[in-house]
Structure 1
């Protein structure tokens, strides 16, 4: 079942959207219903939905700002926007943030269903592409040259048969080129530098056809196969990820953003992190932030909202709930308890 988050400041509209659409028939379930964008983000941090169905006009965070934040932090989520009137600037912003559909109110269950089906179609396409890219990434680490070549051909065939646009093919190839170069940089291959990476990337940008892009990518993979005897170093990767989280806990962190820093797929990083650390990455980030918050509570006189901001959580209400969930007590009680222990 695909999870839907409904966002609208009208309670009657939220109720209507929840009960007025046959979500089960669409293969969906309503995971939550909130009145504005800031509360929607708080919900997403706790339980990431597949699709967000949101109004544009809301306070304090409107639907476009919500889509901007989702596009940056959770690019896998598909957004559908509702608006009471058509506005060209809003439409341009919606396109910029990758919104699947902009529906004019009043709308109908049939139109909402059509938009949701379109979003599900995009999720399925992205999911298969991500799986193939992740598998190629995984095989690169395991040094299985034949499987890498076969998966590349499968990816190419999929993109052609589904008429994936030229620009998206370019982005896929650029991502996988970076995966290959990551192997060289990780293993300090003599004579290889970022100049070579720039040279290959420039060649890719000069490709005029999909075939030529994949031929360049295939030659790069063969170069990796013939030059590098790769031995798995997943523990080194997870160690670097853990260090990165501890150094950047006060910043916006997500599985996708961290995967981007290390030039690997989010799916592969999530599975590897869970297998090595016995906790998923988002929960680990929460644990690190709460541990840092406990230090600030004991050692400073900062207010709760200041501590929340200092550890990378912009919503103090969400921070307070998370703190109680992970520690078993409220921020105020934790401060008082540790103040009593001081000599």
Structure 2
């Protein structure tokens, strides 16, 4: 089932399109609606539609400008423009931006449904061209390999915006690596490991007498000839010897490769070896006194000293960390301290949403430098400490956060909330992000996902019931969003919660 986003500044037209079309028969589901191009572009990053249906004339960012931005950043998305203006210049510009269909208002149901089926066929053809040989931890023990040496390389794929973009990049990367792998050593096998985040992918190399050196040479040639520069950062695991492989061994190799890849945050090259990045791991005892003082100041609610200590730890200690272990440890401890502070202030959900990306095991991969990580931590620290001023004056954004937390199970959208609080949707999106370091759409998703995690952990109901209780009418779409947010499917989350009890 492909996802569609409907964009029109007139609500009754949006609802008419959504209600009249036989979406499921076309192989499509509506994943969102937006009142203008700016809101639509924000929702694309959140909802990952495959098709965008947009009006051409809208205030602010119109359909053509939206199409231009989509073509530049999400080239795989198919666009249908609907317009009341039979204007040749508009149609010509639309074609330039990759618009597949240009329909005139009032659009007939059959005409739009035919266009949707045509675009779905194109999307399906594209997806089949991206297929690569795969292997998974639970299938590796059944696999008969040709060689007796194994190694995993993990790549960081920057500028990944959605699943379709990711599949395309992985396919191109695999083709480049496979070509050089075969040239470097006959019989060298290469498999894509379907485990990891959207921005990190891993490949298993298997061959007879394979070494780190041979893989490095293949990577070097692939980079210079075929590999995109955006995929150049790579971490290498150690080499495992043996004629077969267990699931635990595969996961261990992948962990080593990802740990090595995290070393890119320190710069100094584009290939990192696990054996080298682990040599820098140091004792964490030196942070003990600062962390104890941080705890005492939060209990005493000495906000000024607390703010100064946080800044000192972020600017000097975090920025001065020399290893992956130190960075992960410090960020984890700082987040724990800030969540404890926010709990005392009554803003725990806000803080959990703000920090959910930084609590993922591979968060370091998203930062190009330690300085950038420290800058983000400082901004988020200031945001959490600003909550202590809440309630002293009327704050529409604070009220909006409260509204989302209370009405998360309802049909929420930026346009709906903007209308309720008599604000322009584009203005609300901009101001909310500036004040909270997160978009309103992402905040809504974060609140819903935190509630869903709680429901599933408490065995409150099945996945369909959890989806409905958190504002998702389609359990398949809920599962897709949940996996993007947590890295696990709802079923996997439930099992992990049961195991930890």
- Cα offset for 1:298? 3.8
Does the alignment pair 1:107 with 2:123?
A: no
Does the alignment pair 1:297 with 2:322?
A: no
Contact 1:56-1:82 within 8 A present in 2 as well: yes
The count of aligned residue pairs is 235
Q: 5+ residue gaps in structure 1?
A: 147-170, 203-229, 248-282, 329-343
CA RMSD of aligned residues (A): 4.9
> 1:78-89 maps to which residues of 2 (within 5 A)?
78-87=78-87
CA offsets 1:144-181 (integer angstroms, 9 cap, x no match): 888xxxxxxxxxxxxxxxxxxxxxxxx99965443335
Partner residue, 2:14: 14
Change (3 A) 1:190 1:78: closer
Partner residue, 1:126: 126
CA offsets 1:240-282 (integer angstroms, 9 cap, x no match): 67777x99xxxxxxxxxxxxxxxxxxxxxxxxxxxxxxxxxxx
Query: 2:254 aligned to 226, 229, 234, which one?
Result: 234
Distance 1:52 1:238 in 2: 35
Change (3 A) 1:17 1:324: closer
TM-score normalised by length of structure 1:
0.50
Distance 1:144 1:4 in 2: 42
- Cα offset for 1:120? 0.5
- Cα offset for 1:55? 1.1
Distance 2:445 2:129 in 1: 34
Tell me which moved more, 303-312 or 13-22.
303-312
Query: 1:288 aligned to 336, 354, 357, which one?
Result: 357
> 1:28-47 maps to which residues of 2 (within 5 A)?
28-47=28-47
TM-score normalised by length of structure 2:
0.37
Secondary structure, counterpart of 2:25 in structure 1: coil
Partner residue, 1:189: 214
> 1:214-293 maps to which residues of 2 (within 5 A)?
233-239=253-259, 287-288=356-357, 292=377
Distance 2:67 2:259 in 1: 32
Q: 5+ residue gaps in structure 2?
A: 147-168, 182-202, 206-210, 228-244, 267-351, 360-375, 388-394, 398-429, 452-501
Partner residue, 2:441: 318
Distance 1:286 1:126 in 2: 35
Distance 1:51 1:241 in 2: 34
Contact 2:6-2:54 within 8 A present in 1 as well: yes
Change (3 A) 1:12 1:311: closer
Change (3 A) 1:200 1:81: same
Partner residue, 1:308: 433
> 1:193-212 maps to which residues of 2 (within 5 A)?
196-197=221-222, 200-201=225-226
Contact 2:26-2:117 within 8 A present in 1 as well: yes
Contact 1:137-1:179 within 8 A present in 2 as well: no
- Cα offset for 1:124? 0.8
Contact 2:52-2:77 within 8 A present in 1 as well: yes
Considering fraction of residues, name the structure with more helix.
Answer: 1
Partner residue, 1:167: none
CA offsets 1:187-242 (integer angstroms, 9 cap, x no match): 4438938874477559xxxxxxxxxxxxxxxxxxxxxxxxxxx9964324544677
- Cα offset for 1:116? 0.4
Distance 1:34 1:62 in 2: 12
Change (3 A) 1:319 1:28: closer
- Cα offset for 1:54? 0.9
CA offsets 1:89-143 (integer angstroms, 9 cap, x no match): 544543444332122333322221111011100111122122x23x2698xxx89
> 1:70-85 maps to which residues of 2 (within 5 A)?
70-85=70-85
Contact 2:36-2:60 within 8 A present in 1 as well: yes
- Cα offset for 1:311? 8.6
Partner residue, 1:331: none
- Cα offset for 1:6? 1.1
Partner residue, 2:365: none
CA offsets 1:290-313 (integer angstroms, 9 cap, x no match): 994641314679x98689359974
> 1:150-165 maps to which residues of 2 (within 5 A)?
none
Contact 1:68-1:97 within 8 A present in 2 as well: yes
Contact 2:46-2:442 within 8 A present in 1 as well: no
Contact 1:296-1:307 within 8 A present in 2 as well: no
Partner residue, 1:265: none
Secondary structure, counterpart of 2:39 in structure 1: helix
Partner residue, 1:178: 176
Contact 1:308-1:319 within 8 A present in 2 as well: no
Change (3 A) 1:29 1:288: closer
